[in-house]
Structure 1
Amino acid sequence: MIELILDTILPGDAALGMPPASMLDFEAYQLRHRVFDQVDAFVAMIDGVARERFGQPFEQLDASQRLAAINGCKVVDVRLFSSFLTHVMRAYYTDRRVLTQASAGAVPPFPAGNELDTDDWTILEPVYMRGAIWRSTDSL
């Protein structure tokens, strides 16, 4: 069931060559980071949400229902939801195949890695020219 959950969150993109999350060795990630208990708790929670909302196990839901069940987990336990999602994203975006396809390379994104285009700060000029928009607290 974990593969179905992973693919619902990160289905991949064939056009970009991005693999679905189920192609990762998520079990090795769990072992390396010792998060089996959190993952098991999330799987149990999502199955409970699926049964409560749709009257059937998570595996039997269609794609939109699976996504709704995953989003429904936020209401049940936002900390567990956030923790699980963080682990899924870390596992996915540290995988060598994903990094290669994303052309991220082995450099950190910031500060010495990937360069950003310079910003156009002149768009803030009208805000600066407007002047202060608050009242002075001295008169209160």
Structure 2
Amino acid sequence: MIELIRDTILPGDTELGMPPASSVDFELYQIRHGISGPVDKFVELVADVARKKFNKEFEQLDESQRLVAINGCKVVDVRLFSTFITHALRAYYTDRRVLYRLSVGAIPPFPAGNELGVDDWTILEPVYERGPIYRDDGSA
């Protein structure tokens, strides 16, 4: 079921040659990062949300229903949801095949990589001129 969850989040793209998330060795990633407990809890949570929301097992849902079930986990346990999503994305986007398809190296794109355009910081002047918007609690 973990592969189906991951493929719902990161289905891949045949036009771009991007593999689905299930092609990445997530089990090795779990062991390396010691996250098997949270992953197992998230799988149970997804299954529970699917049963409550659709009266079906997660594997029986169509693609849009699976996405709704996964997103429904945010409401139940946002920390567990965030932990799983973060690790699923990290495992996928650090895989050599994915990096190769993206034509990027294994190093972060910033600060040495992509150049950022010059920002117009004057748009923040009204916020600065407004002054603080908090109340002084008198502890200073």
Superposition TM-score, scaled by structure 2 size: 0.85
Structure 2 CA distance for partners of 1:126 and 1:21, relative to 1, 3 Å: closer
- CA distance in 2: counterparts of 1:134 and 1:117, whole angstroms: 29
- State the shift of 1:133 in Å: 4.9
The verdict on how the C-alpha distance between 1:117 and 1:63 changes in structure 2, with shifts beyond 3 A counting, is same
Give the equivalent residue in structure 1 for 2:73. 73
2:95 is matched with 95
Quote how far apart the aligned CAs of 1:111 are: 1.4
- CA–CA separation in structure 2 for the residues paired with 1:87 and 1:127: 35
- Code of the aligned partner of 2:118: D
Partner residue in 2 for 1:119: 118
- Name the counterpart of 2:135: none
Provide the residue aligned with 2:84 in structure 1.
84
Deviations along 1:12-56, one digit per CA (max 9) or x if unpaired, are 111111110000000110111111111110000000000000001
Runs of 5+ consecutive residues of structure 2 not aligned to the other structure:
133-140
Alignment of 1:127-138 (within 5 A): 132-133=129-130
2:94–2:106 contact (8 Å) kept in structure 1: no
Taking the aligned partners of 1:126 and 1:106, their CA distance within structure 2 comes to 35
Q: Distance in 2 between matches of 1:53 and 1:119?
A: 47
2:63 is equivalent to residue 63 of structure 1: yes
1:106 deviates by: 2.8
1:40 and 1:127 map into 2 onto residues whose CA distance is: 45
CA distance in 2, matches of 1:21, 1:37: 20
- 2:7 is equivalent to residue 7 of structure 1: yes
Matched residue SS, 1:18: coil
User: What is the aligned length?
Assistant: 133
Do structure 1's residue 24 and structure 2's residue 29 form an aligned pair?
no
Which residue number corresponds to residue 35 of structure 2? 35
In 2, distance between residues paired with 1:117 and 1:34? 35
Question: Does the Cα contact within 8 Å between 2:13 and 2:20 map onto a contact in 1?
Answer: yes
Distance between the aligned counterparts of 1:98 and 1:8, measured in 2? 17
Q: Is the 8 A contact 2:3 2:22 kept in 1?
A: yes
